[in-house]
Amino acid sequence: MALILEKCEGYCRGVDGRAGPNLACTGCGRAVATRIDDCGSWQTVWLEPDAVVRRSSGLPDRPPRNWADLGRAEHRVPPVEADGSWSRRWEAAVGVMLAHLVAATENHPVTLPAGPAAELLGHAVARCLPPGPDPRSVGLAGPGLPELWPRPDVLLVPRHPGTGEPWRPPGLKATVVPLDSGVWAYLTSPGETSPMPAAGVLPEGVLRDDYPLPSRPWRLLEAHAGAFRDTLVGLPAIRSPRLRGYYDAAYRS
């Protein structure tokens, strides 16, 4: 496919598909798809259903993804982009997670587990659920993690990397809040952070150097407002009087 240049309208950094299909087949010249590649949008290509035909490639299917994928280092999504800004995936994931958290706690304050979760998510969570009396405790749970005791009120769990369904502790009833599996994997296993070897000394000929501080943008991590609002209004819990009042106060005042 090739871009149809006269249909490549957009903003400052890409095309947003406002002019309709902007990709043409290089063989017949027919418009067959719309590419979206603008700042603030997921990079996608939407095929025109009446212009394409689905055919098998003949290649074998990939093995289905499973919970074991979360343990791979490459599955972790760092919170900071290469240009030094917050990850767009993190901002969207936090927005979706916060909507579920507000619904699960019925707008009560929460306490986050110490460590990367509190450091990275604390500001965004406090914006939606300010500190106050009678907080609900939140803990990270999921495949490969030890069971938490005492059990937190809410478990922050990963979505399945293949189906998107939230992980649930086997045989137990629990209130769970789903989180993007790549973000969850980073929070539970951010990688090596210590500037000192775990034991012994450095190998001969290796010079010691402190690990650099983790890269952090100039502002604190914020949730994507649209992801938060759109997820919240789609949850059944929004019909409860307490959450309806929360939504009206936030968006209709």
Give residue-wise pLDDT tens across range 47-61. Answer: 999 999 989 888 888
**Which helix H or strand E contains 228, and what residues bound it?**
helix 225-233
**Cα–Cα distance between 244 and 164 in angstroms, integer?**
27
Number of domains comprising the chain? 2
Per the CB < 8 A criterion, the answer to whether 95 and 121 are in contact is no
**Within-domain flag for 203:** no
Q: What is the pLDDT of residues 91-126, one digit of tens each?
A: 999 999 999 999 999 999 999 999 999 999 999 999
**Within-domain flag for 137:** yes
> Same structural domain for residues 150 and 223?
yes
> Which segment of 31-35, 110-114, 238-242 scores lowest on mean pLDDT?
238-242
> Residue 113 belongs to what domain range?
67-190+218-251
**Within-domain flag for 90:** yes
Q: What is the mean pLDDT of the chain?
A: 88
CB atoms within 10 A of CB 145: 16
> Same structural domain for residues 91 and 158?
yes
**Nearest alpha-carbon partner for 108 in 141, 72, 134:** 134
> Same structural domain for residues 41 and 71?
no
- Residue 150, preceding bond cis, omega within 30 degrees? yes
> Same structural domain for residues 84 and 123?
yes
CA distances from 214 to 78, 94, 116, 191 (A): 10, 20, 11, 11
**Within-domain flag for 231:** yes
Q: What is the pTM of this model?
A: 0.76
**Within-domain flag for 53:** no
**Within-domain flag for 36:** yes
